[in-house]
Amino acid sequence: MSRRFDAVLVAACALALAFLALPLAAVFLRVSPVELFAQLGNPAAVDALLVSLKTSLIASGLVLCVGTPAAYLLATRRFRGRAVALTLIELPLVLPPAVAGIALLAAFGRRGLLGGTLDALGVSIPFTQAAVVLAVVLVASPFYLRAAIAAFESVDTGLLEASRTLGASPARTFRRVALPLAAPGLGAGATLAFARGLGEFGATIMFAGSLQGRTQTLPLMIYAQLDRDFDVALAVGALLVLVSLAVLLAVKLLPSWTRFTSISPSRSAPSTSL
């Protein structure tokens, strides 16, 4: 009885692994690695790589600069509407990318909510690199915010209080105690958000279009090259698989590099977890 059940479990597990690994293996098995990376010299691929790197870095910078203090507030203060704010942050995680794209158009587009105001200022966002950045921020920031809130919540409030009684202002306490102690979690969250942003497709293509050298990121370039040159598309795909793998390993290894032996257990339970 138990042996038959074990066989079912093993079979299900093997099927799942095979299904998940097969497409990834196919990317590398169809063409040899050397040949694949030779295709990366293709001008469209180079352009897409540059656009992707530039927009992802800018978006990551924005997410870190605004998201870190926002997460600290949400993690350390209790106020009315906090639960609503936490839910709002997680909404983009479950939002279909196409909806995110159309929502961005509805907000920042020519005839959108802020369209008139932006027009008056002589700013037009859709189909520019700024649009790519906004789309990436929208879909990637929840990954960072969730991780950052959890990281700050796991910092013992007793340590923050100790810092205050030692004469440190709230700002200095944030800088010298909360930030370094939350750093491993923040790093993991930033890495995940960066990876999610790099792969962004749906919202970008609707809001920013796919103009080579301007708004065509790596995933958009794969889509554009699909009919033209399958091998170039595959080469870029392989590149993204390697980047994703590196990100995953970094997230799994990062906390163990920098973990401190904490003396006192955390007093607040995390409200979100990865």
Partner 1 sequence: MDTLHLDLTVPLRAFDLALALEVGDEPVALAGPSGAGKTTALRAVAGLTAGARGRVAAGDEIWLDTDAGIDRPPEQRSVGFVFQDYALFPHLTVEQNVGFADRGRAGELLERLGIAHLASARPGSLSGGERQRVALARALARAPRVLLLDEPTAALDAHTRAAVRVELHDLLRELRLPALLVTHSFEEAAALAGRVGVLVGGKLVQLGAPADLVARPADPFVASFTGGNLIPGIASRREGGLTEIVLETGGFLYSTDGLEGRVGVVVHPWEVSVAREPPGDSTLNHVRAPIVAMTPAGNRVRIRVGPLVAELTAASAERLGLEPGVVAVASFKATAARLVPLA
Where do contacts with partner 1 occur on this chain (CB under 8 A)? 156, 158-159, 161-170, 176-177, 180-181, 260-264
Closest CA to 181 of 154, 146, 145: 154
Kindly state the smallest distance separating residue 73's Cβ from partner 1, in Å.
17
Q: Measured from the CB atom, is 4 or 78 closer to partner 1?
A: 78
Q: Measured from the CB atom, is 56 or 163 closer to partner 1?
A: 163
Kindly state the smallest distance separating residue 189's Cβ from partner 1, in Å.
18
Residue 270: Cβ-neighbour burial (10 angstroms; 0-12, 13-18, 19+): middle
Q: Measured from the CB atom, is 137 or 155 closer to partner 1?
A: 155
Kindly state the smallest distance separating residue 164's Cβ from partner 1, in Å.
4
Residue 152: Cβ-neighbour burial (10 angstroms; 0-12, 13-18, 19+): buried
Q: Measured from the CB atom, is 110 or 267 closer to partner 1?
A: 267
Kindly state the smallest distance separating residue 212's Cβ from partner 1, in Å.
46
Per-residue exposure over 231-266, b if at least 16 CB sit within 10 Å of its own CB, e if not: ebbbbbbbbbeebeeebeebbeebeeeeeeeeeeee
